[in-house]
A = this chain, B = another copy of it.
Amino acid sequence: MRDFSSDHRWLSLNTATVRKQGDLVEIIEACASHGIRAIDPWRDQVAAVGLDRAARAVRDAGLELSGYCRGGMFTSDAAHGGEVRDDNRRAVDEAKALGAPCVVLVVGGLPQFSRPGSAPSRDIVAARAQVEDAIADMLDYARQVNMPLAIEPLHPAYAADRACVNTARQALDICDRLDPERSGLLGVALDVYHIWWDVEVSSQIARAGRERLLAFHVCDWLVPTRDMLNDRGMMGDGVIDIKSLRAAVEAQGFCGYSEIEIFSNYWWDKPLDDVLRTCIARHRTVV
Contacts and interface: CB of A to CB of B under 8 A. Distances in A.
Interface in A188-234: 196-199, 221, 223-226, 228
A186 to B, nearest CB: 18
A122 B197 contact: no
B239 A199 contact: no
Given A155-B157, A157-B157, A228-B228, A241 B124 contact: yes
A123 interface: yes
A122 B225 contact: no
A157 B225 CA distance: 9
Contacts of A241: 122-124
A190 B202 CA distance: 25
A156 B197 contact: yes
A93 interface: no
B160 A157 contact: no
A88 interface: no
Nearest to A238: B160
A170 interface: yes
Interface in A129-171: 155-157, 159-161, 164-167, 170
14 contacts: A110-B239, A122-B239, A122-B241, A124-B239, A156-B157, A156-B197, A156-B198, A157-B157, A157-B225, A160-B221, A160-B239, A166-B198, A170-B199, A224-B228
